[in-house]
């Protein structure tokens, strides 16, 4: 009896130890470390939700992909995402919370540029690497050393591809008078730089140059003024909601300039859903495209085709994925989650992304990137430079369909 009790107790101890070891054993495919938490905020509701939600989708696709491969530094990754409701102040508050309260291991990039611009000094203060679109050129001239645009969304570069194409149009066929309407925030204002330079170069006279505040409830007065002034090119320097408002007013008033150039909104899928054929022929720009022959683009296109029934990944899906690609390579290259070592690795090395190979200058910027686009038959086509052109641009703009 005594021997049996000793034997039973010994078996109990062995079983307990084995169970304990099993509980301590990391999940298959991962190392012994705990989950890596990547935190930040996105505009999942509010004015910029349409684009913010696509960024989140791109980030989550990256996370699923890397976890399937065994994680980052052999550890699983997960996101802690706050909804900043398209409010810059909340974006700053959540960045502070992620760093000081949640103690996240890494910080992810936010949107729009106004939010990124406000979060960059927070990242610098706490010495956290911040890979995002940035807040346009001014934000990269503040001496921050922990912020990188990979790729950035630079308003100062956004229309370069369009203007380079327009320069190939014979002078007598180019627009002569421009109406420029700009959303009154750093994103919109950054677009003015290229407009000022190129309209002078191409002898296009800016007849109207006005700013407006968001939300733009009605664009009737703006379009009436442009039509009465016989402006044959319209620059609608804004986001998705105000861009749609501008287009609806232009059709309602039968204002049909030779070219309409729109800031950010026309390259998101919701543009076509909202406007249908009325959204066609708008020029814009991009730094990312699933039509570019960079490694990884085919894979992303296949995923969004299967998941969202889209032939090409949306721009902001690509942004979310590319920023995480960059952060992944920096952490892997530095072999640590120590922020300063991650930063220093990025400053000295090249990253390979769906936006191509990128290296960063002292500002945290790669070399200028921009491709001219035009929406044709509901699809964002590349029109410039010539060597990557997917369609000849439609110019001048056809009349509105009745």
Quick one: pLDDT at residue 29?
47
Quick one: pLDDT at residue 269?
85
26 or 79, which is more confident:
79
Provide the sign of the torsion angle of the four alpha carbons 363, 364, 367, 368, taken in this order: negative
- Listed in order, strand segments (DSSP E) in 301-395 are 351-353, 356-358, 371-376, 379-384
Q: Class for domain 157-263+269-289+371-388, per CATH?
A: alpha beta
Quote the CA–CA distance of 121 and 136 in Å, as a whole number: 14
Please indicate whether the domains covering 36-153+314-358 and 157-263+269-289+371-388 agree at the CATH topology level: yes
- Decide if pLDDT at 341 tops 80: yes
Confidence grade of residue 265 (pLDDT, cut at 50, 70, 90): confident
Q: How far out from the chain centre does Cα 331 lie?
A: 21
> In what side-by-side order are the strands of the sheet with 130-132?
77-83, 36-42, 106-108, 130-132, 147-149
- Decide if pLDDT at 14 tops 50: no
Domain spans, the chain? 36-153+314-358, 157-263+269-289+371-388
- Decide if pLDDT at 359 tops 70: yes
Reported pTM: 0.81
Quote the CA–CA distance of 314 and 227 in Å, as a whole number: 32
Quick one: pLDDT at residue 176?
98
Question: H or E stretch including 206?
Answer: strand 205-212
CA distances to 187, 261, 271 from 396, rounded to whole Å, are: 27, 12, 21
Range in 29-33, 90-94, 314-318 the model is least confident about: 29-33
CA distances to 49, 300, 356 from 294, rounded to whole Å, are: 28, 11, 6
- Decide if pLDDT at 24 tops 70: no
Quick one: pLDDT at residue 33?
67
Per-residue tokens: 277: 């054929």
Which CATH number is 36-153+314-358's, of 3.30.420.10, 3.40.50.2300, 1.10.3720.10, 3.30.565.10?
A: 3.40.50.2300
User: Per 3-state DSSP, what percentage of the chain is helix, strand, and coil (rounded to 5)?
Assistant: 45, 20, 35
Per-residue tokens: 140: 């990269």
Per-residue tokens: 396: 């001048």
Residue percentage of the chain with pLDDT more than 70: 92
Quote the CA–CA distance of 216 and 311 in Å, as a whole number: 31
Residue percentage of the chain with pLDDT more than 90: 86
- Decide if pLDDT at 17 tops 60: no
- Decide if pLDDT at 135 tops 60: yes
Average pLDDT over residues 94-117: 96
- Decide if pLDDT at 363 tops 50: yes
- Decide if pLDDT at 267 tops 90: no
* Contact call for residues 184 and 220 (beta carbons, < 8 A): no
CA distances to 28, 198, 257, 272 from 78, rounded to whole Å, are: 16, 45, 48, 33
C-alpha torsion angle, residues 110, 111, 113, 115 (rounded to 10): -70
Average pLDDT over residues 135-149: 96
């Amino acid at each position: 009896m005594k021997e049996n009790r000793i034997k039973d107790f010994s078996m109990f101890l062995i079983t307990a130890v084995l169970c304990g070891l099993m509980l301590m054993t990391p999940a298959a495919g991962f190392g012994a470390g705990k989950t890596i938490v990547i935190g930040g905020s996105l505009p999942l509701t509010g004015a910029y939700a349409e684009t913010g939600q696509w960024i989140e989708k791109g980030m989550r696709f990256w996370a699923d992909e890397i976890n399937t491969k065994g994680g980052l530094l052999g550890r699983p990754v997960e996101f802690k995402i706050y909804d900043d409701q398209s409010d810059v102040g909340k974006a700053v508050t959540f960045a502070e919370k992620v760093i000081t309260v949640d103690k996240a291991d890494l910080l992810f990039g936010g949107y729009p540029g106004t939010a990124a611009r406000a979060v960059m000094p927070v990242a610098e203060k706490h010495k956290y690497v911040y890979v995002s679109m940035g807040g346009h050129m001014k934000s990269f001239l503040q001496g921050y050393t922990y912020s990188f645009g990979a790729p950035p969304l630079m308003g100062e570069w956004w229309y370069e591809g369009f203007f380079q194409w327009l320069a190939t149009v014979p002078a007598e066929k180019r627009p002569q008078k421009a109406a420029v309407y700009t959303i009154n925030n750093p994103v919109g204002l950054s677009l003015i730089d290229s407009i000022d330079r190129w309209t002078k170069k191409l002898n296009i006279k800016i007849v109207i140059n006005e700013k407006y505040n968001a939300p733009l409830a009605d664009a009737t007065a703006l379009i009436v003024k442009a039509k009465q002034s016989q402006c044959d090119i319209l620059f609608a320097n804004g986001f998705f909601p105000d861009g749609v408002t501008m287009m609806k007013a232009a059709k309602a008033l039968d204002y049909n300039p030779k070219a309409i150039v729109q800031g950010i909104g026309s390259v998101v899928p919701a543009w076509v859903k909202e406007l249908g054929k009325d959204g066609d022929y708008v020029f814009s720009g991009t730094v990312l495209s699933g039509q570019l022959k960079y490694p990884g683009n085919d894979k992303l296109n296949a995923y969004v085709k299967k998941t969202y029934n889209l032939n090409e990944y949306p721009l902001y899906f690509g942004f979310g994925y590319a920023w995480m690609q960059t952060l992944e390579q920096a952490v892997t290259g530095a072999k640590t989650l120590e922020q300063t070592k991650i930063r220093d690795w990025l400053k000295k090395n090249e990253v390979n992304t769906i936006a191509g190979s990128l290296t960063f200058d002292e500002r945290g910027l790669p070399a200028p990137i921009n491709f001219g686009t035009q929406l044709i038959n509901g699809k964002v086509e590349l029109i410039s430079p010539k060597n990557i052109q997917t369609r000849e641009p439609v110019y001048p703009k056809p009349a509105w369909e009745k």
